[in-house]
Structures are given as C-alpha cells and as structure tokens.
Amino acid sequence: MSETSGTGTAPVGATGATGATIELENLTKRYPGSPLPAVDDVSMEIKAGETVIFVGPSGCGKSTTLKMINRLIEPSGGRIRIGGEDVTDIDPVRLRRTIGYAIQSSGLFPHMTVAQNIALVPRMTGWSKARVRSRVEEMLDLVGLDPGEFHDRYPRQLSGGQQQRVGVARALAADPPVLLMDEPFGAVDPITRDHLQDELIRLQRELHKTIVFVTHDFDEAIKLGDRIAVLREQSHIAQFDTPEAILTNPADDFVSGFVGAGAALKRLNLTRVRDVGITDCPTVSVEDPLQHIFDRLRDGGTNEVLLLDRRGRPYKWLRRGDLMRAKGSLARAGTLVTDTVTRDATLRDALEAVLTDNTGRVAVTGRRGEYTGVVDMETLMNSVQELLEADRLDALEHRHDLEEARADRTHSEQEGFGGAAKA
C-alpha cells in the first residue's frame, strides 16, 4: 500500500516521526485457566513505514497480538521492540501515548467535541495550546473534514464514516511513529468502507507511518497491506508475504482457503485508479445560470455533462433532454451520482462503481470529495485484460518451471538407477 520510507527507525515518542520498526520476539499470552496460550511464541519484524495486515479466523489471536504491541494486553512472555527500544518493561501509559490506536467503534468520547477528542493526547503529552489548536486544524484537513464545519461538533452529530475519520485523526494527532488499527472500518457500510480504505492509503502515502492493521476480510488485507500475515490458531504464522506473493503462491491449503476463489480477479485490488487513464469530462455547477448549462450541453460536443454542487463535488449527470423534460429545473433534472472513487481506489472498486452506474464511467474525487476527473468502462476493461494476460503468462511460466523440475528429478532418478545397475 505505502511507499515505504526506508529511512531506518524512529524512537518511541519522537516528534516529526515517520515510521519505526516493530520487532516481536517469542511473544506469548496465556490466560489463567486456559490449557493453551491465546498467542504462542510469535516472532516477526515489521519494517519502518510499512503497513502489515494481520488476517485470520475469528479467535486466532490476531487482536490479542496487536494489543500486546501497545500493552493494552500484557504479554506473558517474549519481548517487544519499537524503533530498537525494548518497550516490554517501560511504563505502559507512557508507551500508549506514543502509539496511535484506532478501533472499530472509533472510540470517541461522546461528551467531547471533535476538536477536544483530537486534542486529547497532545494535551496529555504537554503540547502548548497554540500547537494543539494548530494540530487539530491540520488533522481535520488531513482526513478530509472541513475544520470550520466539524471542529465543534459532537460524535453523535457525525455519520459513521465521519466518526472513523475523526478516530484516525485522534490516533495520529501526537505524530506517533506507529499506528495500530483493530478492524477500524468493520462497522460501516461497504461504500463508506471503500472510501475510508482509500483515505488510509492516501494518508500513508503522505505520512509513512508503521501501521499494523487487523481484519478478517482478505480483500481488505490485499488492498491495504504492503505485507500480510496470515495467522492460524494461537497466532501461528501460516504465511507472511506481499499480497501478490500470497495470491500467486499460497503457502498451503489453509492460506489458499483465505485467498478463496478468483485469485486473478482479486489482483484488481493491487492496481489503483491513479495507475490507469483518468480523463476529464464537461462539468457545470449548480451556481451556473441555466443558459450557460444549456450552452455547455449544446456546444460541448457531448450529450452529457457532470453537474457539481457548490463545493465542487459530483452531484448529477445531466443529458440534453433532461432540462427540457424538467422544464429547466435542476432539482428535477438529471441522474444523481450514487458513487465516486478516489485516485487511491482499486480497479475493483472502480469497476464495481461503473457497473452500478448507467453512464459507463465513474467520477474520481479528491480529499474532500471534489471532482478531479473520470475513469470509464473501456479503460477499466483494458486494464482487466492486461491483468488476465499477465496471470496467463505467470501460469504458463509456473507450469514450465514445474515441468523442468520434474524432468530434472526424473533425470536424476535415472542416473541413480543406472549407477546402481552398474554397481
């Protein structure tokens, strides 16, 4: 997902931090009365600036492993190092103030405003009022929420997606090198979830944090992860590799079960809208005079324009006959835009959006939902064809390698048999 910074590590609590390495060494968690450990002897190294996804069946210990990193759950054994510093024995409260944490329900305090929620950790760590105020504005802008509009709202006044954005802003407010995310998008609707995933991808491209993300959704893991750790029971690692490597070469039947059917189509989650042809289309605004809109439709060399709202966001598709039939009323004319994608959306997201829209294309939007272009069905299908062709060539190459290995093995066996006969 991210463009890994590759600049080494940052100490816990460093300001201006990008990412920090995380090392888990023989990490174990045993609960009293349980015959088996919940997490058994897990060791892994996560690179600075990398996004690693923990995926596995319910009860396999992935959330427990995550929570041991910031010691919300205390390990029974093993070591944890962040940025080279052993954090196993330091004060857990101090540790948690240096690690961002986002959960499924956003975890916002309902009696606090959005600004107060975001400011919480910076204030606890001793930031000045001016610095806190500036950081709140910066973080709201970063997650695509207008500071003037959302600063003084309470969580109950936000949609689920907006609450999750504020939750991420709060987790990042003190500029931690590490961000832990425990199924943060699991409670929102599919369209909002896609947009939140895109937002996280965009944020990571800008910030280069070290992100450890828990999910049960393998498609989400493919979309977000630089590497994926597929976990068995007790968090035993079945495979820890890039999404592409897991899709093309699953380690065993357990991993294959997570990949599921249609591995080639799942590779659509590895290509972004920004990697294909984004084009422009004629646009008009709800603030434009009706005559201008008529002229744009008549003179634009197209049968259709995209109507933008007052904030420049896609609102409706307008065709030539729409305004005539609606007697010049924009309120009654056109077809509402039901879905958009960002530049960080996957090809699969874009394809699904196009297939649910009868215009044959989908609008591409920026940080605050503003129009930036369109991607059409032809472009997407050409990209899908290229992926399928690449998969076909990979399969042929893999088959060729297997045949060569089989021939080498047969030749070796024959030589061995011949030598034995001579003896």
For 58-115, what is each residue's pLDDT tens digit? 889 999 999 999 999 999 999 999 999 999 988 999 899 889 999 887 789 999 999 9
Max mean pLDDT among 126-135, 273-282, 323-332, 391-400 falls in: 126-135
Paired tokens of 165: 């954005």
SS3 of residue 404 by DSSP? helix
- Are the CB atoms for 239 and 250 separated by under 8 Å? yes
User: What is the residue whose two structure tokens read 């966001």?
Assistant: 313
SS3 of residue 213 by DSSP? strand
pLDDT over 80 (residue 374): yes
pLDDT, one tens digit per residue, over 220-279 is 999 999 999 999 999 999 999 999 899 888 999 999 888 876 676 777 888 889 888 899
Write the DSSP string, 363-384. Answer: EEE-TTS-EEEEEEHHHHHHHH
The sign of the CA dihedral 53, 58, 63, 65 is negative
3-state DSSP of 112-139: CCHHHHHHHHHHHCCCCHHHHHHHHHHH
List C-alpha distances in Å: 57 to 60, 219, 383. 6, 14, 32
pLDDT over 70 (residue 135): yes
